[in-house]
């Protein structure tokens, strides 16, 4: 918790955030958009301080032996920071999600029902070593009229504090109570946050499988998020092999620590002998360590005079989110076998097929159980910014909406409003009951 708030307990701070969010929610769309622009400008002005704070976090992380996957998420260079600020401004240009009329219906003459979109309230967002999440979440919260309590990983404390300080400056400049956004910094506050069911309306965890499970098991507040990011690419018998190679390399190496990176490559047995050497060479050129099933090992390690190209995969490999330059490869007998493997080991995040056969693509996309199912493109496109959401608060792999990358639409709920002229239910019951018109307006 920041120095300015040490004198207040977390329940009090959460109530202050709730009140600030209520005031934010009634502002016009123009006022909220002006606040987002003020935040973007404040972030630009604070860029040197933010990068210095992040450099200190990275230095400490290296000394502490932070994994390469987490380090990749922690690192915030000038380009990445500017890209995030661009994302903040993109959110400001999105349509206003508050007040959208979803239902406008006459129940009877003079009795009018509306269903309107409204903010969720206060979000509790807990994330590991991902400082750029602060900017994404803050902009989406401001746009959607929500308050937010952030809890970043200990590895990113300096970075998060510098970012929040800049965001608070922007909010103050726009004459909005900075209490609408809070930053927590200690582990004990995480548990306390999870117990604030009277003040916090939704918890969004962003981190490892174990971390998300911990959050889900330690709160009564609704939780939106995903656990593992075990994504697959299936290369069908009818695939363009050059296209498949380029997609596989991008989906594995473009940002290995991302949750939409592939962890397993599935290859149809009819093309395995031709495709495996080609894709393995391309992946190894990018520093990818390969692990494979028995047919994969037999094909790639056929020359016993050379060091093995691929190591034998174990059962654990099919269940592992490496978040690193490691890839498991399996040869499958058919599309049906690929679908069965994905639905058994996948995490319902993002799955892809490469094929020139439209019927195979249709079957794959219909049968795979995932939030995102792609045809002839990289799984790395599974992202709120790339979908045109401006930014995202996280990825949801649950069946009920929101699902997949969660942008503004996942941060609003709705309220039914009924306006009458003295009508009572008794008039619509019994033998002389009036009839409802149920006419959409």
Read off the pLDDT of residues 274-326 as tens digits, 9 standing for 90 and up. 999 999 999 999 999 999 999 999 999 988 788 899 999 999 999 999 989 99
CATH 3.40.190.10 is held by the domain 3-223+407-415: no
C-alpha 414/C-alpha 416 separation (Å) is: 7
What is the enclosing helix (H) or strand (E) of 245?
helix 241-253
Q: Which CATH superfamily is domain 231-381 in?
A: Aldehyde Dehydrogenase; Chain A, domain 2 (3.40.309.10)
Confidence of residue 187 (pLDDT cuts 50, 70, 90): confident
What angle in degrees, to the nearest 10, is found between the helix axes of 47-63 and 78-92? 130
Output the six-digit token pair for 172.
């103050």
The residue written with tokens 């020359």 in the block is: 303
C-alpha 35/C-alpha 55 separation (Å) is: 28
Instruction: Answer yes or no: is pLDDT of 207 > 80.
Output: no
Q: Mark out the alpha helices in 8-121 (DSSP H runs).
A: 10-25, 29-45, 47-63, 68-74, 78-92
C-alpha 21/C-alpha 19 separation (Å) is: 5
Q: Is 112 left (phi over 0), alpha (psi -120 to 50) or beta?
A: beta
Which part of the chain has CATH 3.40.309.10?
231-381
Strand 147-151 and strand 122-127: pairing? parallel
Kindly provide the residue ranges of all beta strands, DSSP E only, lying in 212-360, ordered along the sequence: 231-235, 262-268, 289-292, 311-312, 326-332, 350-354
Q: Phi, psi (5° rounding) for residue 362?
A: -65, -45
Confidence of residue 390 (pLDDT cuts 50, 70, 90): confident
Of 398 and 249, the structure prediction assigns the larger pLDDT to: 249
What is residue 3's predicted lDDT score, i.e. its pLDDT?
41
The residue written with tokens 């690193």 in the block is: 324
Output the six-digit token pair for 246.
């380029």
What is residue 106's predicted lDDT score, i.e. its pLDDT?
97
C-alpha 249/C-alpha 246 separation (Å) is: 5
Output the six-digit token pair for 52.
């210095």
């Amino acid at each position: 918790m920041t120095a300015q708030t040490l004198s207040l307990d977390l329940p009090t701070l959460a109530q202050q955030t709730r009140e600030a969010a209520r005031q934010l929610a009634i502002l016009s769309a123009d006022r909220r958009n002006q606040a987002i622009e003020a935040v973007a400008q404040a972030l630009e002005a604070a860029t040197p301080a933010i990068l210095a704070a992040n450099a200190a976090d990275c230095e400490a992380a290296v000394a502490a032996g932070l994994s390469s996957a987490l380090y990749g998420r922690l690192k915030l260079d000038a380009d990445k920071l500017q890209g995030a600020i661009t994302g903040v401004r993109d959110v400001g240009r999105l349509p206003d999600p508050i007040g959208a009329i979803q239902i406008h219906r006459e129940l009877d003459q003079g009795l009018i029902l509306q269903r309107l979109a409204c903010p969720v309230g206060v979000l509790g967002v807990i994330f590991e070593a991902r400082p750029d999440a602060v900017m994404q979440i803050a902009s989406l919260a401001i746009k959607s009229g929500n308050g937010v309590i952030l809890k970043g990983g200990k590895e990113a404390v300096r970075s998060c504090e510098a970012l929040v300080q800049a965001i608070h400056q922007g909010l103050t400049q726009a004459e909005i109570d900075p209490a609408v956004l809070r930053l927590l910094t200690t582990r004990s506050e995480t548990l306390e946050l999870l117990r604030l069911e009277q003040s916090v309306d939704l918890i969004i965890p962003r981190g490892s499988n174990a971390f998300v499970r911990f959050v889900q098991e330690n709160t009564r507040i609704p939780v939106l998020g995903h656990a593992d990011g075990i994504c697959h690419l299936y290369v069908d018998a009818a695939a363009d092999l050059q296209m498949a190679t380029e997609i596989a390399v991008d989906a594995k190496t473009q940002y290995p620590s991302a949750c939409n990176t592939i962890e397993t490559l599935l290859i149809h047995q009819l093309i395995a002998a031709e495709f495996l050497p080609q894709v393995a060479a391309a992946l190894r050129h990018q520093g990818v360590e390969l692990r494979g099933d028995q047919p994969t090992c037999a094909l790639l390690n056929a020359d016993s005079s050379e060091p093995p190209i691929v190591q034998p995969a174990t059962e654990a490999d099919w269940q592992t989110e490496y978040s690193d330059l490691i890839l498991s490869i399996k040869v499958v007998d058919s599309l049906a076998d690929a679908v069965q493997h994905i639905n058994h080991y996948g995490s319902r995040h993002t799955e892809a097929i490469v094929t020139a056969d439209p019927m195979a693509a249709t079957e794959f996309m219909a049968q795979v159980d995932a939030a995102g199912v792609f045809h002839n493109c990289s799984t790395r496109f599974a992202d709120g910014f790339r979908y045109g959401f401006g930014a995202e608060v996280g990825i949801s792999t649950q069946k009920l909406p929101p699902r997949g990358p969660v942008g503004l639409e996942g941060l609003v709920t709705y309220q039914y409003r009924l306006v009458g002229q003295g009508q009572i239910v008794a008039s619509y019951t019994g033998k002389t009951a009036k009839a409802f018109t149920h006419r959409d307006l």
